[in-house]
Amino acid sequence: MARLVMKFGGTSVADIDRIRNVARHVKREVAAGHEVAVVVSAMAGTTNTLVDWCREAASLHDAREYDAVVASGEQVSAGLLAITLESMGVNARSWQGWQLPILTSDAHGAARILEVNGAELIKRFKSRGQVAVIAGFQGVHQETGRITTLGRGGSDTSAVAIAAAINADRCDIYTDVDGVYTTDPRVVSKARRLDKIAYEEMLELASLGAKVLQVRSVELGMVHNVRIFVRSSFDAPERIDPNAGPPGTLICGEEEIVEQQVVTGIAFSKDEAQISIRRVADKPGVAAAIFGPLADASINVDMIVQNVSADGATTDLTFTVPAADYERATSVLAAAKGKIGYERLDGATDVAKVSVIGVGMRSHAGVAARAFKALAENRINIRAITTSEIKFSLLIDANYTELAVRTLHSLYELDR
Ligand code: ASP
Ligand code: MG
């Protein structure tokens, strides 16, 4: 017997037929003798509609009321799944965030989970074999008692937090893909599904735009050591043997991964823009003068490369921002030109960032050097490079993205 959290996203509960399909997945695990807590998202498209309604009602609105509105989507799907389970003879009860409770900060619209009380759920597993169906995405602020939401995609984070609270053996994330891949299979047909990936690697992948999981859910999983299993909700529920390993990807601690590859995956993003500031003074306070105003404008800066000046007087500084923020970033910098002091701004929006990820890099030398050689052989120019312990990122011309990703994918023996 195991204790499981099963999380289903919006497409998996898009209509009553699909909710029935979800209920069959749940029934299978219950029949196998497992204790089950289910976490659901709102039915596909519902949250977008609710957000749009808030905006339509007033473009500037109170975040507490936004939460009151958008949290309702999950209330509906949780109730519907509980009804469906009951109709199939499975004892089930729905729970909203405030009922457990799931206590959060008061940052409405982007609240952080502080504490989850799973005691009542465990009591009901034991005394009645009852399945808990929990509304994802929402919680409650303790002092005010107001409903909060966790930010878009937040029901992944709800699921992992609940798994930690009830000490679940596994947190299964059922979604519309069947796992985490070495890279985007739409770009590299030879991309492979990974059996396992370490938390840290998944964090990098998720931060770099792999949309499988909300980044915070992976952080939380890492802190509480929750084994997260990404799998497809479209597999026929009855064809899965609950005691055998179904297809999917396990996100877990490094120590659980026996055959560690040097490189685990390759991520890329074309939504990048490069800004180069030419001939800025090489003196204390200049970086602060540049990045302070950008931070104030809530512009996320990613790769930062600064050279050591040759003459001791001026240097060049290059960094990337999301392409959508490019215009805003350049006007912020133009406005601050007097304070910063530079000769000119150069920019490019037709750039892409390609990142190579793997915890194995910690113990292997020359991993990046091989990439430089392989890209050179394909005549791909590298504009900027940044590295960390388990990742390096290369900024290249956007036209070469696919070629670069494919080249690196086979270079590091990730091809199927
Ligand atoms: N329904 C919410 C959203 O669309 C939360 C989630 O699906 O995870 O963002
Ligand atoms: Mg999601």
Distance of alpha carbon 392 from alpha carbon 373, whole angstroms: 15
What pLDDT sits at residue 310? 87
Is 259's pLDDT higher than 80? no
Find out whether the beta carbon of 47 lies less than 6 Å from any atom of ligand 1. yes
Mean pLDDT, all residues of the chain: 95
Phi, psi of 143 (to 5 degrees): -70, -45
Distance of alpha carbon 407 from alpha carbon 292, whole angstroms: 38
Mean pLDDT of 328-357: 96
Nearest ligand, CA 136: 1
* Contact (Cβ atoms closer than 8 angstroms) between residue 381 and residue 397: yes
What pLDDT sits at residue 26? 97
What pLDDT sits at residue 212? 85
* Contact (Cβ atoms closer than 8 angstroms) between residue 143 and residue 105: no
Q: Could you tell me the pLDDT band of residue 95, with boundaries at 50, 70 and 90?
A: very high
Find out whether the beta carbon of 42 lies less than 6 Å from any atom of ligand 1. yes
What pLDDT sits at residue 60? 94
Ligand 1 pocket mutation pick from 43, 152, 214 by most atoms within 8 angstroms of CB = 152
Question: Which atom of ligand 1 lies at the shortest distance from residue 42's CA?
Answer: 1
What pLDDT sits at residue 390? 95
Mean pLDDT of 316-339: 96
Q: Could you tell me the pLDDT band of residue 402, with boundaries at 50, 70 and 90?
A: very high
* Contact (Cβ atoms closer than 8 angstroms) between residue 359 and residue 200: yes
User: pLDDT for 34-86, tens place per residue?
Assistant: 999 999 999 999 999 999 999 999 999 999 999 999 999 999 999 999 999 99
Distance of alpha carbon 273 from alpha carbon 254, whole angstroms: 33
For ligand 1, the distance from its centroid to the CA atom of residue 226, given in whole angstroms, is 21
Burial class, 72, CB count within 10 angstroms (exposed 0-12 / middle 13-18 / buried 19+): middle
* Contact (Cβ atoms closer than 8 angstroms) between residue 384 and residue 305: yes
Say whether the peptide bond before residue 322 is cis (omega within 30 degrees of 0). Answer: no
User: pLDDT for 284-311, tens place per residue?
Assistant: 999 999 999 999 999 999 999 998 888 8
Is 211's pLDDT higher than 80? no
Find out whether the beta carbon of 41 lies less than 6 Å from any atom of ligand 1. yes
What pLDDT sits at residue 46? 98
Contacts 24+ apart (CB under 8 A), 305-312: 305/384, 305/385, 305/386, 309/282, 312/282
Mean pLDDT of 232-243: 79
